[in-house]
Chains A and B, each alone.
Chain A
Amino acid sequence: MSRSMPALIVAVLLLAGLAHPQDLAVRAGLLHTVSGAPITDGVVVVRGGKIVAVGPAATTPIPEGLRVLTAAVATPGLVDAHSVVGLAGHLNQPSDQDQLDTSAPIQPELRAIDAYNARERLIAWVASFGVTTLHTGHGPGALISGETLIAKTRGDTVDEAVIVPRAALACTLGPSTHPEGSGKSPGTTGKELALLREKFIAAQAYRSKRAAGGDEAPERNLALETLADVLAGELPLMITAQRHLDITNALRLREEFGFRLMLDGAAEGYLLTDEILAAGVPVIVHPAMERAEGERENLTFENAARLHAAGIPIALQSGYEAYVPKTRVLLYEAAVAAAHGLGAEAALAACTLGAARVLGIEARVGSLEPGKDGDLALYDGDPFEYTTHCIATVIEGEVVFEGSR
């Protein structure tokens, strides 16, 4: 309700100094703003869900009557750059797995907002580890599995949770799209690319004919409509590609069709840093603790560090898990990436502001700056240390988790 409160009313409430459910202050021994240097004994003031002040406690007054949360350390709420939480449920039974339909290899018409279960238990689970923003949706495993969305980890319905209803179109290259012996097409890497090129060329024709209008205009086609949005640059294509071969194919496809590309996974990305950098493509790096097997047998804990060192924009993610654990935890993955060459500062950026930039939502989330959403994660120590706890999570001034996780 309050998110849609007209700005005028918010302003009136602020002027009147009335306590609002989305008013809050956080005081932390160490405040990581990410957009600037960390602040010792820092304060963040949130009013009406938005950050109104950030600074040292000595010079940043906390308005009287405001609820104050204190913590050893606070960071911006974490931004998970790629997850399937909300579509892939914790029970892992057919009835709660909505991340992948395998009836056809290319299904751009599947929308994430039709499948996101805002009450799924794993949303609250990741929120209790500081995640406030989640890029989630259709998962890897099909050439094109459907759309993704961006949600805040709160709300009882998708409409209350979602902030970007159409975030990207999910595409996968590599062996997972053609499991051995499935008897389905695609059955080879060459066929994967042939099917995709064919579809994109059909979308090019559809787009130009629709634009021309008149009697010759083709009937609406939801799949081609979505692909046309990708070709128009309105919807990024997120391509999950692990092997160097598949990453190279993703870059070649982008050359040919000119879409906005986000590379996802990129287990062997460290072999192609020059090519990825030259293409100007960001990478949502596989979870640091992702299992090294199959198409990911050559992954390294240091992949994020090596891509970052090469100057490639990176974001961190929890990824997709088919079994136990049913989801990874972004904070845990960032910690291991940090300890394996990335370092604490770059790792924190890659799961906050850097991730927000890759997703195109940096105007709203990712750092502690006036005007941005009041999203914070609070800890009782070094956020990345194994034995530290997340003690509170705040979304737009509302405490969505409080405890010791």
Chain B
Amino acid sequence: MFDRPAGALSPPYGAGAHAFVGARLLPVSGPPIDDGVLVVRDGRIEAVGPRASVAVPADAERHDVAGLTIIPGLVDTHSHVGGGWGADESAPIQPETRQLDAIDVRDAGFQRAQAGGLTTINIMSGSGHLMSGQTLYVKNRDGNGIDDLCYRWPDGTPMGGMKMANGTNSQRDPPFPGTRGKSAALVRERLVAAQEYGRKLAAAGDDASKRPDRDLGLEALLEVLDGKRIVQHHTHRHDDVLTVLRLRDEFGFRVVLHHVSEAARVADEIAAAGVGVSLILIDAPGGKLEAADYDARGAAELEARGVPLAIHTDDWITDSRLFLRDGALAVRAGLSESGALAALTLHGARLLDLADRVGSLEPGKDADFVLLSGPPFSVWTQVLQTWAGGELVFDRSREADRLWAEGGWGAGRSRTAAICCMLGPGEDR
């Protein structure tokens, strides 16, 4: 069900050509390349390969990076950076709310995410609702407004999924559901309403007078039912996972399972369903009832069954600056290193319909990549630079960027200006 390239459009690209020479390249789409060359031009990757087979273009700015490691820009399939909340307390199902309208692009969280190597982020509302609104897929570049960051569908509209949740977070006082059965019933009811709405629209055809009144929530749900908008679904417990799959079977939407604390218990069912999974890695079980039996070994169980597997930060649950650590914790629990790197990059891109644009070091893809001081899953490794769409968005050698990376006095303040001719490089925040 995955790998339906959406023909996504990326935000604006940086200009100029750069060649990175001598690093160990981990393209993810292919085997590692020692002593490699990466050439990027006007925001896209132009060439990737061993030094012997890739020429450094004469007009490219040359970066000698022997001893470093270059990986694709990281793809975070589940984050709350930017402080954007969609749904409010008025109802448990609010598909009409959009992250597009809610995100502060100057929030310090974006800078921290750049310091962690994140170049693509799916920003979502919380899990306190059965359906908390439309998510937004963004390129993590410095922008003046959200339009500078968002990926777009071929028709030019901002691209994203639909955030849903079941389990304990969305069970609250009325009008929220009080049980799991009620949760599923409310969701079914709304999806049936969307089916009816779609049927009426189809029946009306081109006759505007016969069309039902516009309903923003149902319009968004039609994008879910036709597979354009992927359901990004919070679910932890084994039975909650099966409920998601049951609803998926009934309504035919495309879905990615998020968090999935008990993935190991239903790994066969998940694999048989052919859905993707985006896992969270946390330091201890519990904190709430549905995560009491959290088990990191789910990652390896899903990998063994060929499930498309991503990992996410759920920032602020885990810190975007430590996203590579999340992959490492999955390795600690049995996931292969290559599987973990793919889970932080290409597999995440697949689960957002962005694999034709990002997620690996391949010619034609966006020039999103990260320079590391060492192997990706070592605690001793530092993110040295992050490039998004051919722009250098994080450079540890710049004092201002180092503040985002390490923290310190003033690190909690929002970015104050995106670009300012008055200040030198790295002083523009």
Interface residues of A (CB under 8 A from B): 89-93, 121-122, 125-126, 268, 270-271, 289, 291-293, 297-302, 321, 323-329, 332, 335-336, 338-340, 384-389
Cβ contact within 8 Å between A300 and B408: yes
Cβ contact within 8 Å between A90 and B287: yes
Shortest beta-carbon distance from A13 to chain B in Å: 38
Q: A268 to B410: give the CA distance in the assembly, Å.
A: 11
Which of B284, B292, B317, B325 has a CB less than 8 Å from the CB of A386? B325
Cβ contact within 8 Å between B409 and A386: no
- Interface residues on chain B, size class: 20 to 34
Cβ contact within 8 Å between A323 and B288: yes
Pairs A–B under 8 Å by Cβ, sample size 18: A90-B285, A90-B292, A92-B287, A121-B285, A270-B408, A291-B316, A292-B411, A292-B412, A302-B407, A324-B291, A325-B286, A326-B284, A326-B286, A327-B284, A339-B380, A386-B329, A386-B379, A387-B377
Q: A300 to B402: give the CA distance in the assembly, Å.
A: 11
Which residues of B (406-424) have their CB < 8 Å from a CB of A? 406-412
Cβ contact within 8 Å between B411 and A384: no
Interface residues of B (CB under 8 A from A): 282-289, 291-292, 316-317, 319, 322, 325, 328-329, 331-332, 377-380, 406-412
Nearest 4 CB-CB pairs, A to B?
A297-B412, A90-B286, A324-B287, A386-B328
Cβ contact within 8 Å between A335 and B288: no
Cβ contact within 8 Å between A339 and B379: yes
Contacts of A297 in B (CB 8 A): 411-412
Contacts of B283 in A (CB 8 A): 325, 327-329, 332
Q: A71 to B244: give the CA distance in the assembly, Å.
A: 44
Shortest beta-carbon distance from A314 to chain B in Å: 17
Shortest beta-carbon distance from A115 to chain B in Å: 18
Q: Secondary structure of the A side of the interface?
A: loop
Contacts of A328 in B (CB 8 A): 283-284
- Given A301-B407, A339-B380, check contact A293 B287 (CB 8 Å): no
Contacts of A326 in B (CB 8 A): 284-287
Besides A300-B411, A324-B286, A386-B331, 4 more A-B contacts (Cβ < 8 Å) are A90-B284, A92-B288, A323-B288, A385-B380
Which of A91, A271, A384, A389 has a CB less than 8 Å from the CB of B292? A91
Cβ contact within 8 Å between B406 and A301: yes
Contacts of A300 in B (CB 8 A): 406-408, 411
Count, A-B residue pairs, CB within 8 A:
106
Closest to A335 in B: B379
Q: A310 to B256: give the CA distance in the assembly, Å.
A: 49
Cβ contact within 8 Å between B285 and A125: yes
Shortest beta-carbon distance from B117 to chain A in Å: 15
Contacts of B328 in A (CB 8 A): 386-387
Cβ contact within 8 Å between A384 and B379: yes
Closest to B340 in A: A387
Which of B286, B319, B325, B410 has a CB less than 8 Å from the CB of A121? B286
Q: A92 to B379: give the CA distance in the assembly, Å.
A: 30
Q: A177 to B319: give the CA distance in the assembly, Å.
A: 25
Closest to A90 in B: B286
Contacts of A301 in B (CB 8 A): 406-407
Cβ contact within 8 Å between B291 and A298: no
Shortest beta-carbon distance from A247 to chain B in Å: 14
Closest to B315 in A: A291
Q: A156 to B99: give the CA distance in the assembly, Å.
A: 49
Contacts of B407 in A (CB 8 A): 292, 298-302
Q: A244 to B130: give the CA distance in the assembly, Å.
A: 42
Closest to B382 in A: A339
Contacts of A90 in B (CB 8 A): 284-287, 292
Shortest beta-carbon distance from B285 to chain A in Å: 6
Cβ contact within 8 Å between A291 and B319: yes
Cβ contact within 8 Å between A298 and B287: no
Which of B282, B319, B408, B411 has a CB less than 8 Å from the CB of A325? B282
Shortest beta-carbon distance from A332 to chain B in Å: 6
Shortest beta-carbon distance from B325 to chain A in Å: 6
Cβ contact within 8 Å between B331 and A387: yes
Closest to A303 in B: B407
Shortest beta-carbon distance from B318 to chain A in Å: 8
Shortest beta-carbon distance from B372 to chain A in Å: 13
Q: A293 to B108: give the CA distance in the assembly, Å.
A: 11
Cβ contact within 8 Å between B412 and A386: no
Which of B317, B329, B380, B412 has a CB less than 8 Å from the CB of A324? B317
Q: A310 to B276: give the CA distance in the assembly, Å.
A: 49
Closest to B337 in A: A387
Shortest beta-carbon distance from B79 to chain A in Å: 14
Contacts of B285 in A (CB 8 A): 90, 121, 125, 325-326
Residue among B284, B289, B378 with max Cβ neighbours from chain A (10 Å): B284
Q: A301 to B285: give the CA distance in the assembly, Å.
A: 24
Q: A23 to B284: give the CA distance in the assembly, Å.
A: 31
Shortest beta-carbon distance from A97 to chain B in Å: 11
Contacts of A122 in B (CB 8 A): 284, 286
Contacts of A384 in B (CB 8 A): 379
Contacts of B288 in A (CB 8 A): 91-92, 323-324
Q: A344 to B289: give the CA distance in the assembly, Å.
A: 36
Cβ contact within 8 Å between B287 and A325: yes
